[in-house]
Structure 1
Amino acid sequence: MIVKNLISCEPQEEASVPLTFDVVHPANQKVVFQVERSSTESCAKAVENCQRAFTSWKVSPLDHRCAIVEEAARLIEDESSGWAARLAAANIQETSSTKWWTEFQLKDVTGFMRELIQACKEVIQSQTIAGHNAEIIVDREPFGVCLAIAAWNAVHLLTARAIITPLLAGNTVVLKSSEHTPYTQRLWGELLYAAGLPPGCLSVVHVAKEDASDLVSQLLADKRIRHLNFTGSTAVGSILASLAGKHLKPTLMELGGKAPVLLLPDADLVTASSHIILGSFLNAGQICMSTERVLVAKSRYRELVAAIQETWTNTSVSETPALFSSSSAERVKSLIRDARQKGASSVIGNDMESLSGSYVSRTILGPAQNDMEIYREETFGPVSIIVTIDDESKSNDEVIDEMIELANDTDFGLTASVWSRNPVRALGVARQLECGAVHINAPTAADVPKVPHGGWKASGWGRFNGVEGIRIEVGIGDPHALPLHIFDL
């Protein structure tokens, strides 16, 4: 099977077999699909079709656009349509995603789609402002053709928000698929066309890793591309931001994270331990909001270790899923080795070397020091560290201040979690953390569809979700003043 580009609303028929690249399953290293390798010409055609469709799509009634997204959500929920089964099967074929993780996304994504519909209805309307002898009408207008690049690790949620948000706002979209999930992301395009999306409003192009730099540069240099939204690594985001800046293209970026859990002196460690485990190991830690650091007073370290170990012993866990590549797994193992060599012990996980290929044992290490590579690097694997704060002869306020300082001592700033029996104190701490979202007495990995989601610092800028997610996909149109006054000079 060759997974082809989706330009307009049908896969492009080629006179001959196109150049392809392979999708290799990370667990067994077997080729699962061959994928059409996009060229300069096919990317240009994708943009051309989207630009042509934009003329009519931008003036289509908002209710019409919302109805298409609602129909797509209905198709996912309707078992007889087969769409949920197709999307789930494709994701599991291409990646090591578990059945639970895939089904969780598909159950969650329909509610997310409906929240976007509601947010769009709140944002896409004219605003009237009383001005000097006039009423000023301010409209929000779509940009035009948007480039969307969504990561593979939560492919259904990330793809949906990357393409549906700009489409609802009246833009057309070129989606550059991840080389790890091209089939799943093409199916999302097919789903929207099945729901009634007009031809040309969405194109899905597959780009081989070795071509990515040249073809994405070409897309961002194209004057018809007016906006970029990207979810992925900080390293790639930095390159894309530079390219977009060169061509003065506005961007929305959600990048990496190094999420801390702050266990304040009065925290319930038993309850927190289950959320630390969830946040550390969900999807093998391959989530930008994964728990990476746990901060606790030194006097409570042993109590925390005991709570985590007991919770882990009593937790029913599935087989460790593979990471997305063997090189990623080896990088994570290297971080673990470095931490152990510098004094960290395993709170959970001792069989790292027994796992080969793309597998890494679920691991929590402690106590960690700031000279360890894992202290600062995003692991993007099933690993977290415990950092202790010396609380001898210190007040609780002094300990908390040091926790805040350590939590902010990172280049990243996506999410965090604060645990305390005193919600007022926890909220006060949350407001001092340099990150996009802080969850109180909850895991670091959480996202509410109607709430703005994004990061600070090297975790990106702009916001997905809710009304802010819609606003960032539109520009302010030319204000109109009524009545017009002509002055005789």
Structure 2
Amino acid sequence: MANVETTNPATEQQLASYTAMTDAQIDAAVDRAERAHREWATWTFEQRGTVIAAAAELLRREIEELALLITREMGKPVAESRAEVTKCANALDYYAENASQLLADTVYETAAERSWVSYEPLGVVLAVMPWNFPLWQVFRFAGPALMAGNAAVLKHSPNTTGAALEAQRIIEAAGAPAGLLTTLIVTENDVADVTARLIDDDRIAAVTLTGSERAGAAVGSCAGRSIKKSVLELGGSDPFIVLADADIETVVQHAVKARFLNAGQSCISPKRFIVDARVADDFIAGMQRSVSALTVGDPEDPATDIGPMARPDLRHLVAGQVAETLRAGADLIAGGNSVSDRTGWFFQPTLIADVRPGSPAYEEEIFGPVAAVLTFASDAEAVRIANATRFGLGSSVWGADLDRASHIGRQVVSGACFINAPVASDVRIPFGGAKRSGFGRELADAGIREFVNARTWWVNDDASARKGP
């Protein structure tokens, strides 16, 4: 039988080997999830909340072990892994406490004696999740979906199989019915076929995916053929617009932290820094100092700022995008190469300026530790550059004149716009994209209502009561 192997990207040593599931085992897992849903859907919000809150407590209790697993499977510095586990726990607590209110019936005034909309679970949701935030991506979806009464079948990235199994274990240990969150172990070569087969399965009610454009197109088309609800959170090439009246020193601090978190492997990290030409030299100089000061090294060392990239193919792709951008005429300010003097899939923190249209840093998403600086001479030009991408996940605008910053932000097409703050997901507000960054929302009230049946009720006290509009 085929195996799924995980590898430490800092040492290139194998961590674990897992036996991939057969078709029969996958089928049995979906059966268990369906049975778990039928039971779970009868539980009250209070009963479900007790389980989800217990899962949050388990995450906090096991934070060190879980953080180390994340770091060893995908390479982020262990301090970032701890923060991820904490964020998962906080999200679960939020939904445990607020789901009943978020899904409370909505009452409408009509000609009926009583009319309202109830929000009822759909069933088993297939979740196709990425490796870059291996626990957060799972619990960001699972918290609201499970509290709404659904079950979940998880197809995680093979390189974070350990984290996927831990997510399942935590939900079960918290007291959920067996199979409520079920992890499938699937080899990379079989992912496309297994995913398509599951989406077409009548026991799967809906699908959510966080991943690449290519994966989103494949999953979205399968869901469309099966006429099933889908939520897609895809790539981003987020603009970070710096106006001339911004506090450059403060902006640089936020820019570096936002771009180089997780070695730049985040869909919502700013990729294109669009800076007023009048302050561009100061911005670039500040970025150069800060980027050059970042420590690249062992992600288990507390002193490390930048760990390895998650896989060698990802590093190779980023190296090619940087090289092509430089050939197109951009200036290399810092970094620019793979780290060759140590074991592991490391890439230097990189800063590129004077990025030209048509180059990868201008047109594509660079999913790695690379910041690209572009300049503008007018607000209209800033908006044009910001929108010159097929993506529309997040955007941010920085400046002292909030009315001007907001006016510019309104003209940029994105699922979120942050003024004087880096884009981030927060459990209290909806999150999602526009254009080819996907559709649907996660988190908050919009997120928890994605995987429910908004069911309309029209009730008259007796047959002689008034009916119809």
Matched with 2:463 is: 485
Matched with 1:324 is 310
- 1:166-177 alignment, distance < 5 Å: 166-177=145-156
- 1:292 equivalent in alignment to 2:271: yes
- State the shift of 1:228 in Å: 0.8
CA distance, structure 1, for counterparts of residue 263 and residue 31 of structure 2? 39
CA distance, structure 2, for counterparts of residue 216 and residue 312 of structure 1: 40
Taking the aligned partners of 1:404 and 1:245, their CA distance within structure 2 comes to: 33
SS of 1:292's equivalent in the other structure is strand
CA contact (8 A) 1:116 1:450 kept: no
Structure 1 residues not aligned, in runs of 5+: 1-17, 392-398
Verify: 1:413 aligned to 2:396, yes or no. no
Question: For residue 445 of structure 2, what is the aligned residue in structure 1?
Answer: 467
Structure 1 contact 163–175 (Cα < 8 Å) conserved:
no
Letter in 2 for 1:364: L
Aligned to 1:86: 65
CA distance in 1, matches of 2:39, 2:83: 36
SS at match of 2:390: coil
Find 1:363's aligned residue among 317, 340, 350.
350
3-state secondary structure, aligned to 1:88: helix
5+ unaligned residues in a row in structure 2: which ranges? 297-303
Matching residue's letter, 1:439: F
Number of equivalent positions: 458
Cα 1:473–1:436 change in 2 (3 A) is: same
Q: For the residues of structure 2 that align with 1:244 and 1:371, how far apart are their CA atoms?
A: 33
Residue 279 of structure 2 aligns to a residue whose secondary structure is helix
**1:172 Cα shift?**
1.0
Q: What whole-Å deviation, never above 9, does each CA across 1:35-86 have from its counterpart, x for those lacking one?
A: 12122111111111111222221121111001111111122223xxxx2233
Listed as ranges, the matches of 1:93-112 within 5 Å are 93-112=72-91
Per-residue CA distance 1:141-197 (angstroms, 9 max, x = gap):
100111111211111211112222211100111111210111111111111111110
What's the counterpart of residue 251 of structure 1?
230
RMSD: 2.0
Question: 1:178 touches 1:206 (CA, 8 Å); kept in 2?
Answer: no
Structure 2: distance between partners of 1:175 and 1:468: 21
Residues 145-156 of structure 1 aligned to structure 2 (within 5 Å):
145-156=124-135
Determine the structure 1 residue equivalent to 2:300: none
Contact 1:115 1:466 survives alignment (8 Å): no
1:348 and 1:92, CA in 2 relative to 1: closer, same or farther beyond 3 A?
Answer: same
Alpha-carbon distance between aligned partners in 2 of 1:22 and 1:200, rounded to the nearest angstrom: 23
Cα 1:96–1:386 change in 2 (3 A) is same
Shift of 1:484: 4.0
Deviation string, structure 1 residues 270-301 (Cα, Å, up to 9, x no partner): 21111121122111100001121011123332
Deviation, structure 1 residue 350: 5.0
Q: 1:375 aligns with which of 362, 365, 375?
A: 362
- Aligned-partner SS, 2:426: coil
Q: Which amino acid aligns with 2:34?
A: Q
Alpha-carbon distance change, 316 to 43 in structure 1, aligned in 2, over 3 angstroms:
closer
3-state SS, counterpart of residue 479 of structure 1: strand
Q: How far apart, CA to CA, are the structure 1 residues paired with 2:112 and 2:431?
A: 40
Contact kept, 8 Å, 2:114 with 2:459, in 1: the verdict is: yes
| Separation in structure 1 between the aligned mates of residue 359 and residue 2 of structure 2, nearest angstrom | 44
Letter in 1 for 2:90: G
Could you tell me which residue of structure 1 aligns to residue 8 of structure 2? 25
1:376-455 superposed matches below 5 A? 376-389=363-376, 391=377, 399-444=378-423, 446-455=424-433
The one-letter amino acid of 2:320's match is S
CA distance in 2, matches of 1:35, 1:182: 8
Tell me by how many angstroms 1:459 deviates.
0.7
SS at match of 2:68: helix
Alpha-carbon distance between aligned partners in 2 of 1:316 and 1:440, rounded to the nearest angstrom: 29
Counterpart of 2:198, as a letter, is L
Q: Which of 341, 363, 385 lines up with 2:327 in the alignment?
A: 341
Q: Which moved more, 1:450-459 or 1:104-113?
A: 104-113
Distance 1:419 1:355, change over 3 A: farther
Residue matched to 1:71: 54
Shift of 1:422: 1.1
Instruction: Measure how far apart 1:352 and its partner are.
Output: 4.2
Give the alignment's TM-score, normalised by structure 2: 0.93
Match of 1:131 among 110, 124, 127: 110
Question: Secondary structure of the equivalent of 2:158?
Answer: coil
Q: How much does 1:314 deviate?
A: 5.9
Q: Does 1:212 align with 2:191?
A: yes
Q: Quote how far apart the aligned CAs of 1:117 are.
A: 2.6
Is the contact between residue 278 and residue 443 of structure 1 (CA under 8 Å) also seen in structure 2?
Answer: no
2-side partners of 1:313 and 1:335: how far apart?
20
Does the 8 Å CA contact 2:115/2:456 hold for their aligned counterparts?
A: no
Name the aligned partner's letter for residue 220 of structure 1.
Answer: I
Q: Any conservation in 2 of the 1:347–1:364 contact (CA below 8 Å)? A: yes
CA contact (8 A) 1:263 1:420 kept: yes
- The match for 2:44 among 61, 65, 69 is 61
Comparing 204-213 with 116-125, greater Cα deviation is found at 116-125
Give 1:24 shift.
2.3
Does the Cα contact within 8 Å between 2:71 and 2:77 map onto a contact in 1?
Answer: yes
Output the CA distance in 2 between the equivalents of 1:288 and 1:487: 54
Tell me which amino acid in the other structure corresponds to 1:335: Q
- Paired residues of 1:150 and 1:178 also in contact (CA < 8 A): yes
Indicate if the aligned counterparts of 2:265 and 2:367 stay in contact, CA closer than 8 A: yes
When residues 431 and 52 of structure 1 are mapped into structure 2, their CA distance, relative to the original with a 3 A threshold, is same
- Determine helix, strand or coil for the equivalent of 2:273: strand
- Contact kept in structure 2, 1:262 and 1:418, CA below 8 Å: yes
Query: Is contact 1:119-1:467 (8 Å) kept?
Result: no
Contact 2:29 2:182 in 1 (8 A): yes
Q: In structure 2, what residue type is equivalent to 1:88?
A: A
